[in-house]
Each structure stands twice: as C-alpha cells, then as structure tokens.
Amino acid sequence: MPEIAARFKLDWPGFSLDVDLHLPGKGVTALFGHSGSGKTTLLRCIAGLERPAHGRLVFNDRTWQDAGTWLPTHRRPIGYVFQEASLFPHLSVLGNLEYGRQRSAGTARVALDQAVALLGIDHLLQRKPDSLSGGERQRVGIARALAVSPEILLMDEPLAALDLKRKQEILPYLERLHDQLDIPVIYVSHAPDEVARLADHLVVLDAGRVITAGPLAETLARIDLPIRLGEDVGVVLEATVDHIDETWQLMRVTFPGGSLWTRARDLPPGRRVRVRVLARDVSLAIDEPGPSSIQNILPATVDAVGPDEHPGLLLVRVALGESRLVARLTRRSAEQLGIVAGRPVHVQVKSVALME
C-alpha cells in the first residue's frame, strides 16, 4: 500500500515540532490536537509551505524532501484546502475551478466534472464568489483543490470558519469524499465529533510531538493518553444495520462483539454505519440489571482502568469480543464494584450517536 513517511524537526521561539510518522496512503488521516499543538505547521511542512531545517518526506516512494532534495509546493501533487476558501472575486465559480486546473501538472486523477459532482456545486458554476454562502464557498474551495488532480488532499480545518448549520450542511459532502476518493486525505481538526465521523486513522499531537497514532477505533479507545477530551472521551464502532423495529421506531446495529439499539433511520439492513459511544453514556454493573429504561445492556469484561481528568473519576475500558467501549465512572463506584482488569461486567449504554 502506498505510504507517506514524514520526519520533521523545526524550532521556532516558543514552539518546536519534532515528528516521525508513517501514514497510510489511503483513507482519511486526522491530525488532531488542541490549539497550538502544531497541526497546521505539520500540514504546511507536508505541503512544502514550511521548510524545516531537518526534514524528510517520502510520498509513494517519491522523495519530496530530504537533505539533498526539495520539491517546491507547486511541484508537489497536492490539493490544499484552507480554513476559508480565498476565491478570486472577479472570476465565476467555474473560472476559479479552471484557474486551479491550469496550474495542475499532475496526471488527471479526479476530473473537474467529478469534483463538481462530488461537492454538489454544478448549479453554482456561473455564480460569483460573493454571492455564495460560507458553506458553498468552502465546497467550491474543496472542489478547486480536487480540480488540480492531486494525489493527496490536505485539509486545514475546513469547517472551522462555519457555524453549526453550515457545518452540518457540508459534512455529508466530506463523507462523500471519504467514500469515493481514492487518494489519501490529511485532515486537520480540533473537533472530536468531526474526527469520529470522518477519520480512518488518527494522529494526536501535543506541543509539537506525536502522542499517539494509529487506526481510529483503536486510538480513541486508548485511555492512557494525557490529552484531555473532557465530555468527548469515547469510542467509535464500525457496525452494520441489522434490524429496524417499525413499531418502536428503533434500529439495531451489530458490531464485532455485540449489538446496540438506536433511533431508527431510513437505512436498509446491511448498511455499514459508524456509531460513536461517549464514555459519559456508559455505565457498568456487576449483576445483570433488572428492568431498566436503558435498552442496551451487554456482557463484557473489564480490559483496563485509567485515570480521568478529575481526581474523582476513572476511565474504564471494557472488551466485547474484539470491540472496546470506554466508561466514565466515579472512583468510588469503581471501588465499590471492585472494577479491575479481567472482571466480568454488564455494560449499560444510555445513548448511541449514529455518525451517518
């Protein structure tokens, strides 16, 4: 599988970046971390917009940077999406897309027509940028990045400048990119919900260093990381819709190790979905609970126990077959229930978010 090998060392007053990463050559890799952790700087190094004194970057067996090699940005087969699309105001949307394409030197991987269709902007092609909404402008910005037929798409918080409504409007298009593009995407974000929804692979940065990197589900289930996610601690599960209960308008999704009920959606059985389960919505019981308003009660085994941000809380990871859930418990209840690794428990899941 093609791969991206990136090693950068950069020193600025008050900030240094020191990373050595191997990223998959397909799917969406999220660069995640708090503000100032170095996400944008790392993305800019990959794009050649920063030139660190010590750096090595190999993309699909081609060296873009090492001690004796430097491929300038315009010669790298990249598409770059900024937080806000800066479109030429005097050109129509189509003019903006074609301008980007003229500068493209790479082999055509994603045609302009395909980019237009993927981002749903065909009805906007004759419009001028100042007549577009923020969300539409950003969709054009993404299409423009794709119109240069890139071999990799670099996105720097493409939703950060949008309000919640516009974000919701654009997320389905990003999901389409995820499903239909065959080029790797590196996606900078500090929003856990975006990462849970879009990423396949996760790199967590803190103060210019990589804290952890790996497949999304596995990395989110780590409870030993110093990064503070607060209310967003939780896991994602790759699941399949297996039953719709029309009477109660509920839907059952199955994952390796169990199944969960959630609100029904208009999705056919067999459809692959991603579900997010937050640690605050998971509780544990030793004996099988009696009648309860909680619909999802599953047998599991405690896998690991770790500290949480507040000294009164713990994070407990449980195993259900090959899947993992994380529960947030008070230290007192963990003590009272005798929660230790290896202990069989019943997991109660109060709420499940479908990332679809």
CB under 8 A, 24+ apart: contacts of 313-317: 314/339, 315/223, 315/233, 315/279, 316/223, 316/284, 317/221, 317/223
The one-letter amino acid at 90: H
Give the total of residues touching ligand ATP (CB under 6 A).
Answer: 11
Considering only residues 176-215, where is the footprint of ligand ATP by CB under 6 A?
190
* Residue 36 lies near ligand ATP (rule: CB under 6 A): yes
Return the number of the residue (35 or 293) whose C-beta is nearest ligand ATP: 35
Contact residue for ligand ATP among 35, 107, 247, 293 (CB under 6 A): 35
Shortest Å, Cβ 189 to ligand ATP: 8
Is there binding between residue 29 and ligand ATP (CB under 6 A)? no
Q: Does 248 bind ligand ATP (CB under 6 A)?
A: no
Determine which helix (DSSP H) or strand (DSSP E) holds 226, and give its type and residue range: none
| 93-102 vs 112-119: helix crossing angle, rounded to 10 | 140
Task: For the CB of residue 156, give the shortest distance to ligand ATP in the complex, in Å.
Answer: 8
Residue closest to 135 by CA, chosen among 157, 159, 100: 159
Nearer to ligand ATP, 32 or 59 (CB): 32
141 is a contact residue toward ligand ATP (CB under 6 A): no
Backbone angles phi, psi at 176, to 5 degrees: -65, -40
Q: Select the span of 19-27, 37-45, 165-173, 247-255 touching ligand ATP (CB under 6 A).
A: 37-45
Which of 38, 55, 79, 158 is the binder for ligand ATP (CB under 6 A)? 38
Where does this chain touch ligand ATP (CB under 6 A) — which range of 29-37, 228-236, 248-256, 282-290? 29-37
Name residues whose C-beta falls within 8 Å of residue 356's C-beta, 6 or more positions apart in sequence.
Answer: 265, 267, 273, 274
Applying CB under 6 A, does 77 fall inside the site for ligand ATP? Answer: no
- Identify the bridge partners of residue 55 per DSSP, sorted by sequence position: 8
Q: CB under 6 A: which stretch of 33-41, 73-81, 167-175, 346-354 binds ligand ATP?
A: 33-41
CB atoms within 10 A of CB 280: 17
**Contact region with ligand ATP (CB under 6 A), list: 30-38, 165-173, 225-233, 271-279:** 30-38
Pick 39 or 201: Cβ nearer ligand ATP: 39
Q: Among 39, 201, 274, 324, which residue interacts with ligand ATP (rule: CB under 6 A)?
A: 39
- Spatial separation of the C-alpha atoms in residues 102 and 74, rounded to whole Å: 12
Tokens 């800066």 correspond to 86
- Of 4, 19, 23, 40, which one interacts with ligand ATP (CB under 6 A)? 40
Instruction: Give the x/- contact pattern for ligand ATP in 216-235, rule: CB under 6 A.
Output: --------------------
Residue 86's nearest CA partner among 117, 130, 41 is 130
* Binding flag, residue 41, ligand ATP (CB under 6 A): yes
Max Cα–Cα distance, the chain, nearest Å: 69
Phi-psi label, residue 8: left if phi above 0, alpha if psi -120 to 50, beta otherwise: beta
SS3 of 117-157: HHHCCHHHCCCCHHHCCHHHHHHHHHHHHHHCCCCEEEEEC
User: In sequence order, which residues have a C-beta less than 8 Å from that of residue 61 and are 6 or more positions away?
Assistant: 2
Among 15, 256, 269, 340, binds ligand ATP (CB under 6 A): 15
What is the Cα–Cα distance from 170 to 155, expressed in whole angstroms?
Answer: 14
Residue 12 near ligand ATP by CB under 6 A = yes
Which member of 37, 138, 283, 348 binds ligand ATP (CB under 6 A)? Answer: 37
Residues at the contact surface with ligand ATP, assessed by CB under 6 A:
12, 15, 33, 35-41, 190
